[in-house]
Amino acid sequence: MSSPPAAARPPTLRDRQRAQVRADIHAAAYRLFAARGFANVTTDDIAAEASVSPRTFFRHVATKEDLLLGAVQRGNAAIASLLARRPTDEPPDAALGAAIVSRVDTFDDADLENWRAAILTAPELLDRATLLSAADRHQMVDLVAARMGTDPGEDSRPGLLVQLSFAAADFAFQRWVRRQGPAQRPLASDVAEALAVVAHPRWRG
């Protein structure tokens, strides 16, 4: 899955070249994983398929697992940024839900389907594909608490809203990935539907 650029400045030629190399490596990995299975593909296989040297491969990718988990895990910063840009008068549950759905909606459909085919060959990694890592949970709780005008140390609602919202999103994400055959519905639709279950006036008072 491709990620939108984090920086506001226009990408330089070097930035575009690096992004293209990363995209080529990911595409090659997804093809090989889907065809042979995750466990049967080496980093040398991926480098050769992407027409790069092993040294170049490791300049862009830390581990083979990162090819499947990295794009999901790096989404946390994007969700936090999207949440910070939501209208200040928007209810916290609606703002957080919209930020999560907006992030998911940026995933390229073709890349996402290729990633899905690849990670299904590595079920031991699929359980680790979560939209919110433990390391980023505090930041998200603080953002929601600020929107609610409350102290997360004294008020449990911001933490509960974050936990429930991401649990709902992860549930929809996992169900979408594990669906038999081609995934017909857009992932963002499944995530939005799950988040609607969490929405409740209790977060707004």
Give CA–CA dist 40/129, Å, rounded.
20
pTM, full prediction: 0.78
Instruction: Report the alpha-carbon distance of residue 147 to residue 120 in Å, rounded.
Output: 38
Q: What is the pLDDT of residue 192?
A: 93
Cα 137–chain centre separation: 14
- What are the tokens at 26? 């990911």
Query: What pLDDT shows up at residue 1?
Result: 60
Q: Residue 133's pLDDT is what?
A: 72
Residue 189 to residue 104: CA distance in whole angstroms = 9
Quote the CA–CA distance of 26 and 21 in Å, as a whole number: 9
The length of the chain in residues reads 205
- Closest by CA position to 77, among listed 114, 113, 57, 106: 106
pLDDT for residue 165: 94
pLDDT tens sequence for the chain (205 residues): 654 444 457 778 888 888 899 999 999 999 999 999 999 999 999 999 999 999 999 999 999 999 998 867 766 678 888 999 999 889 999 999 999 999 888 877 778 888 889 999 998 898 888 877 767 788 899 999 999 999 999 999 999 999 999 999 999 989 988 887 665 678 889 999 999 988 876 666 5
Angle, in degrees to the nearest 10, between helices 187-198 and 92-105 = 170
CA–CA distance, 181 with 61 (Å, rounded to integer): 29
Q: What is the percent of the chain where pLDDT is above 70?
A: 88
